[in-house]
Structure 1
Amino acid sequence: MIDDLTTRVRTAVRTAGRGVFWHPTRTPAEVFTGLAEAADELGLTEWDVYGDDGAVAMLEEQIATLLGKEAAVFVPSGIMAQQAVLRVWCDRSGSRRVAIPDLSHLLTYEADGPQLLHGFEFEHLTTGREVATADHLAKVPGRLGAAMVELPLRDAGCLLPTLTELQELSAAALQRGVPLHFDGARLWESQANYDVPLAELAGLADSVYVSFYKGLAGLPGAAVAADTDVIDEVRLWRKRMGGALHRLTPLALSALVGLRDRLPHAAEELAWARAFADELADRGLRPYPEVPHTCIFEVYADAPADEMNERLLDLVLRTATGVSPPWRAADMPGTSVCEVSAYGQALQHDPAQVADWFGELAGRP
């Protein structure tokens, strides 16, 4: 069955001698050993206490500076972080209506938590594979507590609006008096596309959420950056929602390591992803977007997922390389798709060689 095959493929990719996409698999001992070394390198000698001081304070200061905001707060969960900041904006406006993409993570993966816990009334800012613009905001009538844009829109192939579109949306929200929030779970990857300083990009929004376990390969954790008075309220909501844990130091420390070691490579990762996508067309596969907006994008093949995964399993065992994530059925019958994330270990491979492997998966000689 396809589910059993997918499980076998996922296990083979994870345990292969080397990988291509996502981050290398490390044991808990390897991770904790690295964090202990980093604590010494960063001069970290004190624990945080319920999210105050120590590595948490160090991280919050770095995030506020990087994003050009007055303040930032560390939150152990990204979903908690976004619910907290949206609650702050909605309480201030007196409206629970939030304009949000219908593909947003908050709507598709959280078991209605944001609505049930905070009473948000979500209005579709965009539907399907389209990025938000000022025109979309103008079409949402009535009073809004906030508007949220996901950078990039992950479930649409990691699509990004152009910088001009984003600037126009920011201006439209400001003119309308609607706080604009960036879901920047992959903001680090997005900034490489825009090629402007992070502070300039984040300056287009009233508040910004960032994640640390995706592109930065950290342990779980997130942060929200905004004006000081907003962050003070988010910090209060973090406590109310159970996020002020007694010791957040390991999570914050791993984020500091990611900012130090991973963030500088974001532009290289995007360049590799685009070179790889360019090679795929000659091998019977279709990248989406055709020119990736970030180092994360989708690849489509004209073959069923079970065939792709059978070939993938054989290729992984033959090459001792985790060539690709498992494939799944695409919307068009007889086709399949996978999402690739070209982070640091991708840079150790020739994009043409990886494209050759993908050609094999698609049944090309």
Structure 2
Amino acid sequence: MPDHLTRFRGLTAACDATVFWHPVETPGAALRRLADLADELDVSWDQYGARGPVAMLEEQLEALFGKPAAFFPSGVMAQQSALRVWCDRSGTSRVAMPDLSHLLVHEQDGPRRLHGFQVEHLTTGAEVATAEALHGVVGRLGAALVELPLRDAGCLLPTWQELTDLSAAARHRGVPLHVDGARIWESQPFWGTSLAEIAALSDSMYVSFYKGLRGIAGAALIGSEDFLAEARVWRTRMGGTLYRSTPEALAALLGLRELLPRMGECLAWARTLAAELPALGIIANPAQPHTPTFLLHADGTDDAVNERLLGVMERERLRMTGLWRASREPGRVMTEVAVSTPALDHEPQRIAQLLAEVAVG
């Protein structure tokens, strides 16, 4: 019998619709959408990260965030470049960040091996960063990184007051505050503030284009002109000044146009769904999601739950969650869901019932 992952991939390709994440699309269909946009905008090719749609994208980001922007081929490169600039300026390689930060969990020790960063934990576990947390990291720091939202903790966000106080504490101490904003688009509705107001609290910010905005790849750094000039040097040193990035920039422009305005709707749908789940034996984390991406927990084993998931997908021809996995609590399973525009075509109450069929049986 095929393993769960193989069967899941086959069923995903055969489904007629999806609930979570973005619609399944062939490369040809995706590239045709971008070709149509290129014709509409009458763009030329970019060259080495300048001109063409890359320049258009950077201009749109500056309008949204109130600060200049620089395109990067990946978020890993963007964030390491940002921290390297701040540490070089300050003369210390000590950086404070959450122990659940992407840089520590998903980058194969790259920040330390490539740049020699000495990491101090700003927070530990499912805890949002606050001014008090920064005060607890004693000694000289090259930078402090806050992940908004803290993805591996269920996409947790601080309150606006907590974020404002953290920014003030960093500035009072003279520590540059860098924001890992891979999902900042999805986070903005939680605070009800503008992207420019969020960016004003940081010294630099990274944003991603392939998550909530359905891009192909790519990222950007937001910050002052002098900061970006140094970051671009590190982009070149790390091999990130690609000859062409036109498809990635076009996809980001399309996401900003079509998906960014609907983030608030996605969060409202996610919260309606989450409110239905406890009575059905499923716990959402956070109980009221901070962003459209959050975690689900239930009693059971991953083998049993995934068998039911595959059965529901086959019957309904509907792409549901990803595969469930065992949680740290014995006898419990978990999965992450990311609400995007396809979910808005479904009643959250019906999806809650299907989730209960999968998770509880």
- The bucket for the TM-score relative to the shorter chain is over 0.9
- Determine the C-alpha separation between the residues in 1 that align with 2:186 and 2:270: 11
Aligned match of 2:317: 320
Amino acid at match of 1:327: W
Aligned residues: 361
Aligned match of 2:36: 37
Aligned match of 2:133: 136
CA contact (8 A) 2:299 2:360 kept: no
CA contact (8 A) 1:131 1:153 kept: yes
Tell me the CA shift for residue 157 of structure 1.
0.6
Amino acid at match of 1:329: A
- Determine the C-alpha separation between the residues in 2 that align with 1:280 and 1:151: 25
Tell me the CA shift for residue 323 of structure 1.
2.1
CA contact (8 A) 1:213 1:219 kept: yes
Tell me the CA shift for residue 6 of structure 1.
3.5
Amino acid at match of 2:136: K
- 1:9-65 CA-partner distances (Å, limit 9, x unpaired): 243234311110000111111011000101122231x11111111111111111122
Match of 1:342 among 339, 342, 353: 339
Mapping of 1:18-57 within 5 angstroms? Answer: 18-44=17-43, 46-57=44-55
- Determine the C-alpha separation between the residues in 2 that align with 1:173 and 1:322: 44
Match of 1:353 among 346, 350, 353: 350
CA contact (8 A) 1:212 1:222 kept: yes
Moved more, 124-133 or 303-312: 303-312
- Determine the C-alpha separation between the residues in 1 that align with 2:262 and 2:352: 21
Amino acid at match of 2:333: S
Which sections of structure 1, spanning at least 5 residues, go unmatched? none
- 1:128-151 CA-partner distances (Å, limit 9, x unpaired): 010100000001011100000000
Match of 2:233 among 194, 213, 236: 236
Aligned match of 2:65: 67
- 1:281-308 CA-partner distances (Å, limit 9, x unpaired): 1211100000000000001111111111
- Determine the C-alpha separation between the residues in 2 that align with 1:322 and 1:52: 38
- Determine the C-alpha separation between the residues in 2 that align with 1:293 and 1:85: 26
- Determine the C-alpha separation between the residues in 2 that align with 1:363 and 1:170: 43
Aligned match of 1:274: 271
Which sections of structure 2, spanning at least 5 residues, go unmatched? none
- 1:203-228 CA-partner distances (Å, limit 9, x unpaired): 11000100000000001100001010
Amino acid at match of 1:55: P
4+ runs of 1 displaced by more than 2 Å?
none
CA contact (8 A) 1:10 1:325 kept: no
Amino acid at match of 1:36: A
- Determine the C-alpha separation between the residues in 2 that align with 1:42 and 1:100: 40
Q: TM-score, normalised by structure 2?
A: 0.98
Q: Does 1:90 align with 2:87?
A: yes
CA contact (8 A) 1:325 1:340 kept: yes
Tell me the CA shift for residue 7 of structure 1.
3.3
Mapping of 1:73-152 within 5 angstroms? Answer: 73-152=70-149
- Determine the C-alpha separation between the residues in 2 that align with 1:85 and 1:14: 38
Alpha-carbon RMSD: 1.1
- Determine the C-alpha separation between the residues in 2 that align with 1:294 and 1:14: 27
- Determine the C-alpha separation between the residues in 1 that align with 2:38 and 2:83: 33
Match of 1:184 among 177, 181, 185: 181
Q: TM-score, normalised by structure 1?
A: 0.97
- Determine the C-alpha separation between the residues in 1 that align with 2:348 and 2:128: 28
- Determine the C-alpha separation between the residues in 2 that align with 1:239 and 1:337: 40
Aligned match of 1:287: 284
- 1:101-153 CA-partner distances (Å, limit 9, x unpaired): 00001001111111111111110000101010000000101110000000000
Aligned match of 1:262: 259
CA contact (8 A) 1:13 1:325 kept: no
